[in-house]
């Protein structure tokens, strides 16, 4: 039977307890599983067999891996056939970064356009199992879009706490369409996160941010599916954007569980990339990377990036992210707004595309190759977290040469559109069109 275990004091709780953190020491919780007969070959063959099964739970790229997921009655599972996202080779992106080869696993191809669906199927299923009728989250947009959809499927009421004016309209429109009650708070994501936790502790509303360990259980299947698609061969390195740090932690847990069960022999290096103005993990890791335990985490006040999905200064899951780095001998890097914008256009030029937060991966790889930390012949899978249509304003502004932001002192900073696909307006007549086409 799986149980909940505190990553600090190791106290265990049943998975039916409605807690988000340890009730003894407030540490983060993991869902842990017994090491049973499901190891190595046996796991791989059951999981491979299910890939061809027509059953709804087997078609889900999350529930297919249910030997290592929290207990759930099949009739209780809330699924939108999430997962099953492709890994694509990206030659132009590889060349841009100085790599021989590079592959992207695009989690933006999930039902609501981001990786959050993988955690929401397990999160909402757990909410149902506990008898919750309403759920809430703080969000930079994708978590709320995903929670709203899965709550709607389950017939639950949902409340989203979002920083006013700081999420893309695409994401806001999803939460509205799926019927969530949207609370736009006059504050940033870190305020919203603090407040939603307070509200969830005082009311029957079930909290679905990634501090909830059941969310991360779904997201860890990114590691399982990725390995399955590669014939159970682990890459050298996984590169992932870091915001609230749930996803990097979850992916590392997935690989670690398969290492313990003999499916893989070595952890891929987990490499977390943050935006320059929202890089608290990078700062912490620089100072504390050699310490076993480090308690004083300094948030970045008023975090900033135009990649709004990762505009987070006080990430909840930082202790689990530090564990991920230790397990895998990983790295943390940060990249500038300019680097993110250019990398995003290059990913687009491979015919793949992504939202700005996802593009930190390619920008980070380029920076780490230039620094000699990443070798050009490494086998890397970078994780694209959100769909290109999530934030079209950003993309259009980049290609039009009008992407800009205000710095801390209120000065306008204009970005260069180094990989722009410029477009102009012309009269609606044949000669003008032929001229524009170069004939
Ligand atoms: N990429 C995208 C597209 C995201 O939406 C997020 C987080 C991340 C990366 C970072 O992942 O938080 O697990 O480190 N979005 C959250 C949200 C915070 O509310 O949608 P993380």
- The residues pairing with 334 across neighbouring beta strands, listed in sequence order, are 274
Q: Measured at the alpha carbon of residue 116, what is the angle toward residues 201 and 313, in degrees to the nearest 5?
A: 65
Question: Would you say the CB of residue 139 lies under 6 angstroms from ligand 1?
Answer: yes
* Cα–Cα distance, 92 to 95 (Å, whole number): 5
Q: What does the pLDDT average to over 293-311?
A: 91
Q: Which fold has domain 87-112+225-412?
A: Rossmann fold (3.40.50)
Quick one: which of 399, 421, 354, 376 has its CA closest to 100?
A: 376
- Residue from 184, 309, 340, 358 to probe ligand 1 pocket by mutation (most atoms less than 8 Å from CB): 309
Give the ligand 1 atom nearest the CA of 143.
20
- Residue from 113, 120, 140 to probe ligand 1 pocket by mutation (most atoms less than 8 Å from CB): 140
pTM: 0.97
Provide the pLDDT for residue 74: 93
Where does CATH 3.40.50.1100 sit in the chain? 87-112+225-412
The torsion region of residue 58 among left (phi > 0), alpha (psi -120 to 50) and beta comes to alpha
Question: Would you say the CB of residue 243 lies under 6 angstroms from ligand 1?
Answer: yes
The Å distance, Cα 382 to ligand 1 centre, comes to 15
> Would you say residue 236 has pLDDT above 80?
yes
**Average pLDDT of the residues of the chain:** 96
- The residue assigned the tokens 């209120």 is 410
Question: Would you say the CB of residue 141 lies under 6 angstroms from ligand 1?
Answer: yes
The Å distance, Cα 264 to ligand 1 centre, comes to 27
Cα-to-chain-centroid distance, residue 243: 8
- Residue from 136, 188, 310, 384 to probe ligand 1 pocket by mutation (most atoms less than 8 Å from CB): 310
Q: How confident is the model at residue 291 (pLDDT cuts 50, 70, 90)?
A: confident
**357-380 CB burial, b ≥16 within 10 A, e <16:** bbbbbbbbbbbbbeeeebeeebbb
- For the chain, what is the radius of gyration of the CA atoms? 21
- The residues pairing with 104 across neighbouring beta strands, listed in sequence order, are 88, 382
The torsion region of residue 161 among left (phi > 0), alpha (psi -120 to 50) and beta comes to beta
Quick one: which of 425, 167, 196 has its CA closest to 311?
A: 167
Question: Would you say the CB of residue 170 lies under 6 angstroms from ligand 1?
Answer: no
Cα-to-chain-centroid distance, residue 279: 16
Question: Would you say the CB of residue 168 lies under 6 angstroms from ligand 1?
Answer: no
> Would you say residue 38 has pLDDT above 80?
no
* Cα–Cα distance, 219 to 117 (Å, whole number): 8
Q: How confident is the model at residue 37 (pLDDT cuts 50, 70, 90)?
A: confident
């Amino acid at each position: 039977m799986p149980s909940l275990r505190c990553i600090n004091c190791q106290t265990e709780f049943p998975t039916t307890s409605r807690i988000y953190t340890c009730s003894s020491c407030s540490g983060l919780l993991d869902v842990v599983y017994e090491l049973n007969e499901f190891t190595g070959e046996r796991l791989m063959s059951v999981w491979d067999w299910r890939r061809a099964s027509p059953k709804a739970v087997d078609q889900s790229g999350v529930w297919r891996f249910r030997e290592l997921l929290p207990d759930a009655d099949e009739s209780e599972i809330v699924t939108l056939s999430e997962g099953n996202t492709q890994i694509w080779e990206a030659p132009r992106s590889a060349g841009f970064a100085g790599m021989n080869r590079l592959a992207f696993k695009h989690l933006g191809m999930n039902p609501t356009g981001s990786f959050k669906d993988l955690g929401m199927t397990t999160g909402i299923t757990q909410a149902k199992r506990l008898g919750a009728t309403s759920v809430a989250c703080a969000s930079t947009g994708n978590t709320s879009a995903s929670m709203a959809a899965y709550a709607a499927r389950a017939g639950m009421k949902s409340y989203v706490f979002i920083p006013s004016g700081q999420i893309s309209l695409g994401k806001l429109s999803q939460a509205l369409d799926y019927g969530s009650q949207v609370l736009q708070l006059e504050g940033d994501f870190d305020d919203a996160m603090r407040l939603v936790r307070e509200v969830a502790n005082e009311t029957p509303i079930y909290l679905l941010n990634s501090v909830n360990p059941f969310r991360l259980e779904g997201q860890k299947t990114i590691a399982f599916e990725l390995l399955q698609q590669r014939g159970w061969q682990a890459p050298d390195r996984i590169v992932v954007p870091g915001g609230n740090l749930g996803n990097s932690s979850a992916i590392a847990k997935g690989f670690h569980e398969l290492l313990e069960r003999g499916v893989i022999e070595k952890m891929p290096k987990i490499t977390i990339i943050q935006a320059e103005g929202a890089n608290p993990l990078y700062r912490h890791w620089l100072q504390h990377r050699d310490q076993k335990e480090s308690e004083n985490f300094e948030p970045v006040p008023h975090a900033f990036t135009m990649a709004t999905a990762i505009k987070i200064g006080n990430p909840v899951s930082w202790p689990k992210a530090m564990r991920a780095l230790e397990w895998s001998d990983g790295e943390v890097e940060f990249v500038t707004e300019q680097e993110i914008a250019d990398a995003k256009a290059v990913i687009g030029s491979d015919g793949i595309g992504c939202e700005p937060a996802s593009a930190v991966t390619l920008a980070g790889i380029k920076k780490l190759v230039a620094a000699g930390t990443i070798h050009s012949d490494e086998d890397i899978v970078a994780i694209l977290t959100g769909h290109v249509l999530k934030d079209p304003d950003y993309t259009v502004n980049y290609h039009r040469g009008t992407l800009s932001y205000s710095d801390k002192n209120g000065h306008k900073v204009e970005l260069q559109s180094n990989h722009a696909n410029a477009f102009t307006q012309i009269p609606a007549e044949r000669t003008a069109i032929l001229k524009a086409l170069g004939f």
